[in-house]
Chain A
Amino acid sequence: MKKDIVLAGVGGQGILSIAAIIGIAAVNSNLYLKQAEVHGMSQRGGDVQSNLRLSDKEIASDLIPFGKADIILSVEPMEALRYLPMLAPDGWLITNTNPFNNIPDYPDMDKLLNKIKSLPYNVAINADQIAKDAGSVRTMNIVMLGAASPFLNIDYNILENTIKDFFAKKGDKIIEMNLKALKAGRDFVDNK
């Protein structure tokens, strides 16, 4: 089993939390893990990405080769496409469709969505809306994690338990909200 995942978004959107939760869940599933992330300059409202690699064998490179990513998981539609050359021919692009527009030349939304939907394996989901319905827009990243969960080869139970641990310090209410967000993302994909 090997999963190479590119996580994408804008600084502050919570992709490192997604990476951390998948990472802990993977280790709890006795998998090897490598996760390269970006710190420093690029975090101030710029594009950020993380290379997350899971495998039942030892992993060599910290970076995923271009053309080999099994999944691009993005919390922002334009950022999803920024890493498209990394995607394997049979890889999945899973993205939030809600734009984070903090630049003057943000591309046309229809063009973006058309490009995303033209890919043979894609999941496009309005995760901000689903998160709002589930209780708080701040759980958007966890909705995206839920949407990616069928593709991860990690038991859904283990993901749930990891979320419980991850948010343990924040109290039961926050845990419940995030579990609900996870489920909502998962249901969206299951019902598609």
Chain B
Amino acid sequence: MQKLILLGDEALAQGAIDAGMSGIYAYPGTPSTEITEYVQNSKQAKELNIRSKWSANEKTAMEASLGMSYAGKRAMVCMKHVGLNVAADPFMNSAITGANGGLVVVSADDPSMHSSQNEQDSRFFGKFAMIPVLEPSNQQEAYDMGHYGFELSEKFHIPVLIRLTTRLSHSRANVVRKPVRKQNPYKIADNPRQYVLLPALSRKRYKVLLKEQIDFEKEAETSPFNWYSEGENKKLGIITSGIAYNYLMEVFPENSCPYPILKISQYPLPVNMIKKIEEECDELLFLEEGAPLIEEMVKGVLSKGLNIRGRLDGTIPRDGELNPNIVAKALNREYEIKYDLPDIIAGRPPQLCDGCPHTDTYLALNEAIEGLSRDRVFSDIGCYTLGALPPLEAINSCVDMGASINMAKGAADAGLFPSIAVIGDSTFTHSGMTGLLDAVNENSTITVFILDNATTAMTGGQKSSALGRIEQICIGLGVDKNHIRVITPLKNQHEKNVAVIKEEIYYKGVSVIIPRRECVQTLKKRMKAKKK
């Protein structure tokens, strides 16, 4: 079949398309964004009428995918790791309802926090929900798991979690395709009552899930993605998962590793395979991208009291992603590094683009609150978070999507005045609206900036669910029309903007300021497309 060069994200997407997926639901987030974008741009997906538009957030996406599965069709839902926190409620409960059409949940982790607030490991969520988890180690496995994930889900009528990590999501390699499967017809579950999670019914469903654990484990023991490779030197056994396996293979090229290896890409843990390596070896080394999940679990059940090396004893750094050098060091096979990092090199942090509308908003805000401390400005996640860095240093918080409004409210409740929130348009419809409602209901004295650059810029310019609706939403939530002010963040409007901000931050109620000007990057893209 056709040979393709695909990112890990794209390989998974192509696998899902070829596996007869009917819809993909997602909110963008690095490093998961390219999965959904691939489907959106795929001619094949268009011809097959695969549904692929962006959702307002990960929770709405997760629930919609559950609905598509309820109706018998195969659905995928994609997010970055912290998105799974937002979708956690439907995610956890979907393990109890089970799936009808194949349901695959994809969470892309970002160890080393290249573009994230934390490096949480989604495998814990899979274990928490007690569902099967797949963790591809390379692009081909990502493609294959696009197929296999749906098969597994339909075999056990259970959602399956696929965990990616940055280095696989964003690395390209050759991928070989499989034959294309037909989509499922529309067919409601045989027992739609399984979706009614009233306590009496949930208890029954939970027992089903508990019973199935043995089947899931058996499946992992015989999975084509888990294997044991023999090694003559039994002093050490290596248990490795996901992309960490590649680094091990790099350190021992052409299968020259002298130690037994257990490679795991499907969970729950294949306990018999672990017992085998435990029996055979004197010491165990754990190589996992992310948290020491397998290491901690195995440590808990080991009966022989073997010496265990990994992230817990410091053989591998406790935080951050792996690389071949870290793995080589753990195996006493360090690479020779001839050159040091020259000390003349300066850091080059990311910054707001030249001409970015956020810059003009922050300049006006900084001037409007001159004389007051700046620690009253709460913010959120997006390009505008870069306003925390010099030279602007305009904002003081970035915690999770939507937090700015509620933190400003809480601080106002505690006596801070003026109290200000700065949130992007896409973040506002993702998780800001309910907070604004809370503030309106209590007539909190806060001013909320909704930065309308007409896009979800940070993740590459996806369509924002807020587009053209922000004023209507605010009015609908009960904000006084007279205190919804639209300004144009441009240098030549600076004085006017400062005056508007000064008026609103001293208003004793909820006010909203909407700085409106398109992101210069999406503007450029649009102009280019127009010319063509």
Contacts and interface: CB of A to CB of B under 8 A. Distances in A.
Contacts of B345: 78, 81-82, 107
B1 interface: no
- Classify the secondary structure of B's interface with A: loop
Residue among A33, A39, A43, A115 with max Cβ neighbours from chain B (10 Å): A39
A61 B249 contact: yes
B340 A27 contact: no
A13 to B, nearest CB: 12
B30 A40 contact: yes
In which size bucket is the chain B interface? 35 or more
B337 interface: yes
Contacts of A63: 167, 247, 323-324
Given A45-B353, A87-B339, A27 B247 contact: no
Contacts, number: 149
B342 interface: yes
B341 interface: yes
- Interface size, A (range): 35 or more
Contacts of A24: 5
Contact of B172 (A23, A45, A46): A23
Given A60-B247, A85-B337, A88-B338, A47 B459 contact: no
A102 interface: yes
Interface in B329-353: 335-342, 344-353
B114 A42 contact: yes
Contacts of A10: 348
Contacts of B249: 60-61
Nearest to A107: B344
A111 B325 CA distance: 29
Interface in A15-69: 23-24, 27, 32-47, 51, 57, 59-68
Contact of B346 (A35, A62, A103): A103
B224 interface: no
B30 A85 contact: no
B342 A115 contact: yes
Interface in B243-286: 243, 246-250, 253-254
- Among all A-B residue pairs, the 8 with the closest Cβ atoms: A40-B30, A40-B115, A60-B249, A46-B350, A61-B250, A41-B115, A36-B171, A62-B171
Interface of A: 10-11, 23-24, 27, 32-47, 51, 57, 59-68, 78-79, 81-82, 84-85, 87-89, 102-103, 105-108, 111-112, 115, 119
30 contacts: A24-B5, A27-B3, A27-B174, A33-B172, A34-B172, A34-B173, A35-B173, A36-B170, A36-B171, A41-B350, A46-B350, A60-B248, A61-B246, A61-B324, A62-B173, A64-B324, A66-B323, A66-B335, A66-B337, A67-B325, A67-B336, A68-B335, A81-B341, A85-B337, A85-B340, A85-B341, A102-B348, A111-B344, A115-B342, A119-B339
